[in-house]
Structure 1
Amino acid sequence: MKPIQKLLSNSYICHFIGIFFVVSMLNVLFPFKPETVVNSIWITSGCYLISAIVLPKISTYLLVERKYYILPVVTTVFVIAMSLVFLTRVDYSRSALIYGGSFSFLWFYVTSLLRQESQRLVLFAIPNFDIKGLNKKGKVRVIELRQPYNITDVKGGLVVDLHRNLTPESEKFIADCSLADISVFHAESIKEMLEGKVQTQHLSENAIGTLLPNPLYMTFKRFWESLIIIASFPITLPIMAITAILIKLENPGPAMFIQERVGQGGKVFRIYKFRSMTVKEAGSEDKFATQEQARVTKVGKIIRKVRIDELPQFFNVLKGDMSLIGPRPEQDSFVKQFEQEIPFYGYRHMVKPGITGWAQVVQGYADDTESTTEKLAFDLYYIKNLSFWLDVNIVFKTIRTMLTGFGAK
């Protein structure tokens, strides 16, 4: 088995064999090849290559297990391809594409299990930090270097705590590694990647500029999020209409719940949600959702579990108050409280709040100062690493969350 694993550890060889396997299986299933089958084989090959490119992009974040993303990525790529083919009226075989997608998934999944060890990040460390703490995470292997340090011993990247005292010999070795194009990582940065959150106690030591999102991507993000929302309206608008009717039939009061929340730059805006509770008495104090469970209606329990109550926020996104993906917006009273109790809390307002976010899909719901502090660490990680691929990662995690009800209150 080891020679096979070693062979497949090379991505080019792995995917060359993969395309050969998928095309060969289609040739066996479809010995007679009309134009529709030939076109479908070419489309399948293209979809395979796109999936092979996308999967490692999403799993750049070490928190991600690549095997869990194979099915949604392959399915999404093939569905988009079939939609484009349908629109362009290219002749194709639906059964050939379905078989092609199935064989592609099978190859990606089996090889991901065989390549698991080779895809594990291997780092060599100057032992001035807790190396065992990183190795416990199971997704990275950190090997301790012994003195005298030799640059030929470093086969991958070098990891070191740059904020602790280093000997002149260690400092020279780090410089030599950098000059030799060996990546040098700060131990806390690796810990951030493994845990998916910023260590807020060290935030003052980081350049605040790392929390400034790329303005070019933010413009692109607004465009693609709006496009997705508009394209989804044929499905989501009927769901919204039915939900509104069910809410009105079950309980007296408005179908919509409108509340002021704090958005980008601390600006207050009005957020739209479907009402999932009985109408709140005038003058009642603000409470976390966990403290209001007695007020949740039968319809409310269902729409909260599958996140249908959040659908009206699509209009908040189109208005520009929110994004599809970002830190969840809080009520003004809670923001003022947390800004007093939690250091750096205000930094989460550097980007637009989102309907879903990294903290929601990784941590779940926060309902006190302690869990909100933890949530802030995830929010700052998202802001620091904001990119298209992290957003795609969150989209897939959100779908899983909707199916499992994780974090619903």
Structure 2
Amino acid sequence: MVKLQPMSRSAPTVAERSSLASLTAHRQGIQLAWSLAGALPLLLGYLIALGLEHADWVTHQFPQTVLWCALPYLLTGHLLYRGAGLPSAERRSLLVVTTAVPFLLTPLGFALLQQPYSRGAVLLVYGLSTAWYLLGMWLHRERSMQRLVCLDPGIAQKLQALVGAECLQRQPILLEPWPAGGLVLDQGWQFDGVVLDRQVQADAARTQLLSQLKLDHVRLYSIESVAEMLSGRKVSPAGQDELWQIDGNPAYDVAKRCIDLVAVLLTVPLWLSLSLVVGLAVKLDSPGPALFRQQRVGRNGRSFCLLKFRSMVHQGAGTPARFAQRGDDRITRVGRVIRRWRLDELPQLWNVLGGEMSLIGPRPEQTQFVQGFASRIAAYPYRHLVRPGLTGWAQVQQGYAGSEEETVVKLSYDLYYVAHYSVALDLLIAYKTVRTILTGFGSR
């Protein structure tokens, strides 16, 4: 919750608390140290395994499996390290998925290597690892409180306008006004950085002050960067700066493409059988083709034909595009069911196989919409730096965008994904997608 209050004097001193490193870097440092200290619970697990073997309760494979489980433990630590920059509200969900996935894949690793292993040992190390990381989250919960000093007036109000009052109420952040007598760094001020308004015109005194803060190892934040840390949305600078831009992650693009192909090919019997059932139901429910084809815009602005099961009444070619609304009378009886459970998206797995889409990424928009949005929203084309996906960060955070105003918010989530996509973020999106399907969030 955001509060404006006089700054308090308490240990540790600013030299101990603040530095030029960002809040994300501080979190990564804490996460790294805690993961390395996890050698203690791993050693405990190995000692427990040896004791059980000595008592003839388990075979010799049990302690050997415990040693091998150091690999999924380290992978969990790496994923948590990579996800340290995600909003505070997402840390618990990230912890759930990043501890579960590596240990769920461990039996597959043993099977591929054709090595015997103990399932009980895998469960033991998984339990110890989860407990260890939960303990770390609990012990460092006070360190997660972010104390930021506002250099310029009105910062709290502008931040609230960017991310919303509800979002701010869920965040562990304190915004404190600039002291009337100036910020004296050697008197034990406890804070994580200084927030400034980039729209305030710079003068000689302000430039000198900012330089002095950096020399004193104080981190400077813009309102937009704080909004991004809190909300998981990429906020473009005010005034639509034409030089503002983001870039993709070519190395992860290659790995992501391989993951997409493996995941889709391994599940072919499941989704192909389900597709046959859904296609038959659509065909019997209403006249028209079972598949719906539409031109969408994909990576680097290239158009492709997106496939879906038809969930609306069949309309002729040339029908103008418009957003789906709640209670839309164009949706058929079967269409309501398959949209609720996202079964209408199953044919897009063919688009994934063809390389036009990914399992996770910004949802592809219709060509007509893209042309209009790109002409009115300067940052809009940057969402096409990555392959569009069946599900994405905007879908699990916001749901369906049914207007241009909601599309602007959706774009901020898409741009955040383009700027930060990684294994950790994709795992979090996959976890939240399953939860979204079960709750029906965002379906129309």
Partners of 1:256 and 1:275 within 8 A in 2: yes
Match of 2:402 in 1: 367
Following the alignment from structure 1 to structure 2, what is the Cα–Cα distance between the partners of residues 150 and 287? 57
Match of 1:156 in 2: 192
Aligned partner (choices 310, 313, 322) of residue 278 of structure 1: 313
Following the alignment from structure 2 to structure 1, what is the Cα–Cα distance between the partners of residues 260 and 428? 14
Match of 1:39 in 2: 64
Following the alignment from structure 1 to structure 2, what is the Cα–Cα distance between the partners of residues 156 and 336? 42
Counterpart residue type for residue 248 of structure 1: K
Q: Deviations over 1:3-60 (max 9, x none)?
A: xxxxx99625863454355556656776534222112211333323322331242241
Match of 1:184 in 2: 220
Match of 1:385 in 2: 420
Partners of 2:362 and 2:392 within 8 A in 1: yes
Q: Does 1:102 align with 2:127?
A: yes
Counterpart residue type for residue 187 of structure 1: I
Match of 1:138 in 2: 171
Partners of 2:146 and 2:191 within 8 A in 1: no
Q: Does 1:58 align with 2:83?
A: yes
Following the alignment from structure 1 to structure 2, what is the Cα–Cα distance between the partners of residues 204 and 70? 36
Give the Å deviation of 1:68: 1.9
Task: Summarize the Cα distance change of 1:350–1:312 in structure 2 as closer, same or farther, 3 Å threshold.
Answer: same
Q: Does 1:322 align with 2:353?
A: no
Following the alignment from structure 1 to structure 2, what is the Cα–Cα distance between the partners of residues 331 and 41? 51
Following the alignment from structure 1 to structure 2, what is the Cα–Cα distance between the partners of residues 187 and 278? 46
Following the alignment from structure 2 to structure 1, what is the Cα–Cα distance between the partners of residues 272 and 239? 42
Partners of 1:272 and 1:312 within 8 A in 2: yes
Give the Å deviation of 1:124: 4.2
Following the alignment from structure 1 to structure 2, what is the Cα–Cα distance between the partners of residues 172 and 217? 40
Matches within 5 A, 1:103-118: 103-118=128-143
Counterpart residue type for residue 379 of structure 1: D
Structure 2's unaligned 5+ residue stretches are 1-29, 161-167
Task: Summarize the Cα distance change of 1:228–1:151 in structure 2 as closer, same or farther, 3 Å threshold.
Answer: farther
Match of 1:15 in 2: 38
Following the alignment from structure 1 to structure 2, what is the Cα–Cα distance between the partners of residues 65 and 326? 18
Aligned partner (choices 255, 271, 276) of residue 236 of structure 1: 271
Task: Summarize the Cα distance change of 1:122–1:89 in structure 2 as closer, same or farther, 3 Å threshold.
Answer: farther
Partners of 2:380 and 2:411 within 8 A in 1: yes
Q: Does 1:258 align with 2:281?
A: no
Matches within 5 A, 1:297-376: 297-339=332-374, 341-376=376-411
Q: Deviations over 1:249-287 (max 9, x none)?
A: 444433321111223344322101122233235554333
Q: Deviations over 1:159-190 (max 9, x none)?
A: 32243245645433432343455432222211
* Greater mean alpha carbon deviation, residues 145-154 or residues 308-317: 145-154
Q: Deviations over 1:285-308 (max 9, x none)?
A: 333222673343443333322322
Counterpart residue type for residue 68 of structure 1: S
Task: Summarize the Cα distance change of 1:269–1:63 in structure 2 as closer, same or farther, 3 Å threshold.
Answer: farther
Match of 2:3 in 1: none
Match of 1:215 in 2: 250
Give the Å deviation of 1:84: 0.3
- Structure number with greater CO (CA < 8 Å, separation at least 6) is 2
Task: Summarize the Cα distance change of 1:270–1:47 in structure 2 as closer, same or farther, 3 Å threshold.
Answer: same
Give the Å deviation of 1:407: 0.9
Following the alignment from structure 1 to structure 2, what is the Cα–Cα distance between the partners of residues 84 and 271? 35
Counterpart residue type for residue 66 of structure 2: I
Partners of 2:247 and 2:419 within 8 A in 1: yes
Alignment TM-score, normalising by the size of structure 2:
0.78
Q: Deviations over 1:80-115 (max 9, x none)?
A: 111101221222111232243234334433542343
Following the alignment from structure 2 to structure 1, what is the Cα–Cα distance between the partners of residues 379 and 192? 34
Task: Summarize the Cα distance change of 1:200–1:170 in structure 2 as closer, same or farther, 3 Å threshold.
Answer: closer
Counterpart residue type for residue 149 of structure 1: L
Match of 1:82 in 2: 107
Following the alignment from structure 1 to structure 2, what is the Cα–Cα distance between the partners of residues 67 and 25? 28
Counterpart residue type for residue 198 of structure 1: K
Task: Summarize the Cα distance change of 1:180–1:203 in structure 2 as closer, same or farther, 3 Å threshold.
Answer: same
Q: Does 1:247 align with 2:319?
A: no
Partners of 1:128 and 1:164 within 8 A in 2: no
Counterpart residue type for residue 204 of structure 1: Q
Aligned to 2:390, what secondary structure does the other structure show? strand
Give the Å deviation of 1:388: 4.2
Following the alignment from structure 2 to structure 1, what is the Cα–Cα distance between the partners of residues 208 and 41? 44
Give the Å deviation of 1:319: 2.0
Following the alignment from structure 1 to structure 2, what is the Cα–Cα distance between the partners of residues 22 and 249? 57
Task: Summarize the Cα distance change of 1:108–1:301 in structure 2 as closer, same or farther, 3 Å threshold.
Answer: farther
Following the alignment from structure 1 to structure 2, what is the Cα–Cα distance between the partners of residues 158 and 80? 43
Task: Summarize the Cα distance change of 1:44–1:267 in structure 2 as closer, same or farther, 3 Å threshold.
Answer: closer
Following the alignment from structure 1 to structure 2, what is the Cα–Cα distance between the partners of residues 302 and 96? 42
